[in-house]
Each structure stands twice: as C-alpha cells, then as structure tokens.
Amino acid sequence: MTTHSTTSTASTGKRKITIFDTTLRDGEQSPGASLHSSEKIVLARQLARLGIDAIEPGFPISSPGDFAAVQQISRELQGVEIVGFARALRPDIDAAIRATEDAGFRRLHLFISSSQILLEHQLRKSQQQVVQMAREMVAYAKQHVERIEFSPMDASRTGEEFLFELVEAVIAEGATIINIPDTMGYALPDEYGRMFRRVRENVRGGDTVAYSAHCHNDLGMAVANSIAAIQAGVSQVEVTINGVGERAGNCSLEELVMAIETRKEALGVETGIVLPELYETSRMVSRAMHFPIAYNKPIVGRNAFQHESGIHQDGLLKNRNTFEIMDPEALGIPRNMIILGKHSGRHALQHRVAEFGVALQDGQLEELFTRFKAIADEKKHVTDDELLRIVGSTINQTLERFVLQDVQVVTSSLKNRVASVTIADQITGAVQSHSATGDGAIEALIQCIKSAMPFDMEFIDLELQSMAHGERAKAEAAVEIAVDGRPYRGSAIDQDVVMAVAHASISACNQAARSVQADVEAQSGAGAVS
C-alpha cells in the first residue's frame, strides 16, 4: 500500500508520486457521465489492474447506489486504498465511514468551501464558522479513521492568510494529507506551485503532513498545474481517466502519467502505473460513460500516434523515434501509425500495401499512386477497403476474401429491424445471403455478417463520425472486431450510415481472414522445414 510517498524508490532513486483516481466520484459528476453501481465495480477492478494507489469510488451520502458501490469496492479491492468522500458534515462522514469500513486500507476525504465568493454565495458562512466546522469534523473523523485528507474547496481563489489559518486548524486536529485544489481551474502553474511552498513554510505543522494536488482543466492547464505541484514537493496527484469531470474536467491520468514517464529524468519522479493497461482503461471509461474520446486527445486519442504527412511517414518508417516520443504499444495501443491521405507519399503507400502481403512490380507503384491520389483528393483519407480495391484493380487480382454484394435493412417504429446481406467468398466461390433481426438496424446488420463468417467474430466497438454538414453528409464508420482474441479494425466512408458500418465490418473481417491465412501458411511452412 502507498502511504505518503515522500521517499525515493530504492531501485531508481526517484520520488514516488501517489496516483489518486477520482474517476468514479469527481469524474462521474460530469453531466451525462452517471454510472450504475455494477459499472463502477467493473471500472474499479480495472483501476486496480492499472496500478492506481488510491481510489475514490463515489460519494456515499449522495445515493443508496453510490453507498453500495463504495461498500462493495471496499470489500473486494483489499490491496488498494479506498477513499470515503464527505462534506465537513457529520452525516456525510458517518456514511463514508460505514461504506469503507471493510476496506483493507482506507482514508476519509473531507472538504469545505474556502474562497470568499463561495462562503458568501454558496455556503453562506463566515470564515470563522468554516474554521470551526472544519476543526470539529476533522476531529470527529479522526476518532474513526487514522488517515484524513482535507480539501479547502476553491483554494486557488482563497485569500492566503485564511488558507493558512484553515489548513493549520485541520492539521492541529489530525489531518494527515492536505489537498490544495484548483477547483475552478483558475491558477497558473507558477501560482499553483507557489501555493504549496507558501503553505508548507507558513503553517504550523505544515512540514508534518503529505500534500496532494487536485486540478481542474477550465483553462487547459490541469496537467501543467499538477506538474508544477509535483515540482513544489507534492507527493500525490488526483486525476481521472480521460480527464473527465466537472465542466472541462480534471487532470487527465494518462497525460500526467506519460508526462512523468517520458520526462522522469528531468522531473526526478515516477509512478507505479502499469502502462500497458492505460489504453484499455481509457476505452472502458469512454464506453461506460458514453463519452467519446477526442481524436486529438493526447496519449489515447485516435490521432495521437497516427501520421498522414508524407515527411513524417517517411521518417517513421526509417526510425520511429524521428516523430514519436512514446511507444504506443507499450501503452497497450495497437500500432497503426500510417494513415493514408492526400499528404501521404509513395513510401507510406508501398509500406501499407506490403502489409497486405502484396509486392508491386515495376510501374505498378506509380499507377497505384496516381489512382490513390485521385481518391485521396476527394476524401479525407483512404480506408483499407478502398485501398485494397484499387490495389486489386492495379495488379488485376482480387485481394479481399469477402465481398459485400448487397445490403438491405428494413426499419420500423413498431417492430424489430430486419437486415439481410449477400456476401461472396472469393476463396470458396460461395455466394450466401443471411438475414437477422435486432433492436436497431446496425445490430441486425452485424448479426448477419457474424453468421456469414467462417470464424467466430466478436463485435467490440463502433465509432461513427459525420464527415460534413447537411443532408448529403457522408459518415465515417470505424469498426473493431476480435477473432480468437486478436483485434482487427476496419473503416469505411459512405453517405449511408448503415453501408459505412457494413463496409467497415467487412474490411475488419478481411483483415482477420488474412491474419488467419498467414498463420496457416506459417504453420505449414514450419512443418515442412521440420
């Protein structure tokens, strides 16, 4: 279990930063991000696999469901510190104590407003009343739980003298961790780092407690402010997966962790996060909260490790370090760095075609490049299924095993949707039609495609994006499937959303078929050699 993390890690000599995850509490407070108790439990298990040091699973007083989730997570995750969140009110504290009483390791996290604007317009208390409430409630909580974290809410807009007075009071009553939150995302990095130094220097007992940073992202500086706090000696940072949270969100776990990992020599700190679990954790939270991840989101966004520029692609193919400072595969992100678009060059095109197992003869690359550029100028990027078609026509050969010949979908507001597809298998020569029903058109369509495949296919994920505005807008569909536990991703663009999903699904199935065939050929080759 992680405690104050003020000492260096023996093996590296670097200071260990405790990662406190509040995705299931502060993150869930983001409008539209509400989670069922069962979803919280699944995500908490994943946070434990990720190597989180302390999990704040909810706000026990807020609802019976939240209380039950915190209670079950406390009972199940015995190796992780569980944090009970509470206002500086006795009923809140009692609920947090009861919800976390079965935890292997626990702390209570108490907060109260501290800025003058919140005292006047939200809490409607005087400064002295707030100090007295904080004193009494920390003392009360201390009777039940040893580790007490205290947060003066909106600390970055709180007058310095009152902040000192409030923090000094709760330290005197037994608070062991002082969190100085930038609740409104207002602080600048140098200001935020200075707050911690000033508190430590001017508060009696300020050097006897641990310090925590909790930053919101209203001005886009949550990660920068958190790093400034680390440089000021903070030993814990409070984060959320994908940066979810109130308004513009919180400090993003994956961004902070990778900033530390990538620049740990300069920062002199490290975390215990299991990096290969980062990507899957991000996707799980995105799905559970129904919050899409921005394409340009650092670390986990779709474009974070993808390149369309010919100059960048050429450099990457020669040496990955030319245009990447992190290894996506080390974070659990499937490598797919080359995106073919109008800025791509011959080197990238030839590389992508070679990944399909196709060797172009003299003159074929130039012919293919000309056809490719014509399509790329018209569309944002060239998807795999489009590329395979133009490669096939260039070398006069069919490269896709499965060809979608027809799709029909019947929708109704009164009954299930009905879909039928006709798919040709270029290896066996068979042309088969399959029908299925579903609550939605896409569900019915996917059931048809599943039944047409000669292998068991699991439908994992679907992303849809409008490519323009107006009724003639095209849709891009990105579909991920799994076959024998291995992921395959296909994308397609069409004015009809259902057709875009159909073509993207078939593209993914064709990738799976090529992989299966390659495995068979490799095994037969190994058998022949032996």
| SS3 label, residue 233 | coil
Residue ranges covered by each domain of the chain = 15-289, 310-395, 402-527
In this structure, which amino acid lies at residue 457?
A: M
Lowest mean pLDDT among 114-118, 371-375, 484-488, 493-497: 371-375
Whole-number Å distance between alpha carbons of 38 and 239: 22
Q: Could you tell me the maximum CA-CA distance found in the chain, to the nearest angstrom?
A: 85
Candidate CATH numbers 3.40.50.1110, 3.40.50.1220, 3.30.1370.60, 3.20.20.70; the one for domain 15-289 = 3.20.20.70
Spatial separation of the C-alpha atoms in residues 155 and 133, rounded to whole Å: 17
CB atoms within 10 A of CB 480: 20
Question: Residues 58-70: pLDDT tens digits?
Answer: 999 999 999 999 9
- 491, 456, 459, 460: which is closest to 476 by C-alpha? 491
User: Which of 455, 454, 433, 435 is closest to 446 using CA atoms?
Assistant: 435
**Please, what is the average pLDDT of the chain?**
90
| pLDDT-wise least confident of 3-7, 227-231, 342-346 | 3-7
Tell me the mean pLDDT in the region 56-85.
97
pLDDT at position 368? 83
Identify the H or E element spanning 279.
helix 278-289
DSSP string, 66-89: HHHHHHHHHHH-TTSEEEEEEESS
Beta strands in 162-229 (DSSP E): 177-182, 210-215
**Does the structure show a pLDDT above 70 at 266?**
yes
Examine the pLDDT at 7 and tell me if it is beyond 60.
no
C-alpha dihedral over 327, 332, 334, 336, to 10 degrees?
-30
What local confidence, expressed as pLDDT, does residue 527 receive?
61
Q: What string of DSSP letters covers 17-49?
A: PEEEE-TTTTGGGSTT----HHHHHHHHHHHHH
pLDDT of residue 43: 98
Q: Give pLDDT, residue 307.
A: 58
pLDDT at 529 over 70: no
* Measured distance CA(210)–CA(195) in Å, rounded: 14
- pLDDT at position 5 is 44
Q: In this predicted model, which residue has the larger pLDDT, 427 or 133?
A: 133
Q: Choose among 233, 249, 230: nearest CA to 241.
A: 249
Tell me what pLDDT residue 3 has.
Answer: 40
Structure tokens belonging to residue 271: 């975390």
Give the CATH number of domain 402-527: 3.30.160.270
Answer whether residue 517 shows pLDDT above 50. yes
Q: Please check the confidence at residue 466 and state whether its pLDDT lies above 60.
A: yes
- How far apart CA 168 and CA 158 sit, in angstroms, is 15
The predicted-structure confidence for 85-140, as pLDDT tens digits, reads as follows 999 999 999 999 999 999 999 999 999 999 999 999 999 999 999 999 999 999 99
306 — pLDDT class (breaks 50, 70, 90): low
Dump pLDDT digits (tens) for 388-415.
Answer: 788 877 887 777 889 999 999 999 887 8
pLDDT 10s digits, 435-445: 999 999 999 99
The CA distance from 394 to 367, in Å, is: 7
Distance CA 441, CA 409 (A): 7
Burial tier of 442 (Cβ tally within 10 Å: 0-12, 13-18, 19+)? buried
Q: How confident is the model at residue 2 (pLDDT cuts 50, 70, 90)?
A: very low
Q: Mean pLDDT across the stretch 170-176?
A: 98
pLDDT surpasses 80 at 84: yes
pLDDT value, residue 351:
76
Residue at token pair 């900033």: 259
Share of the chain above pLDDT 90, in %: 66
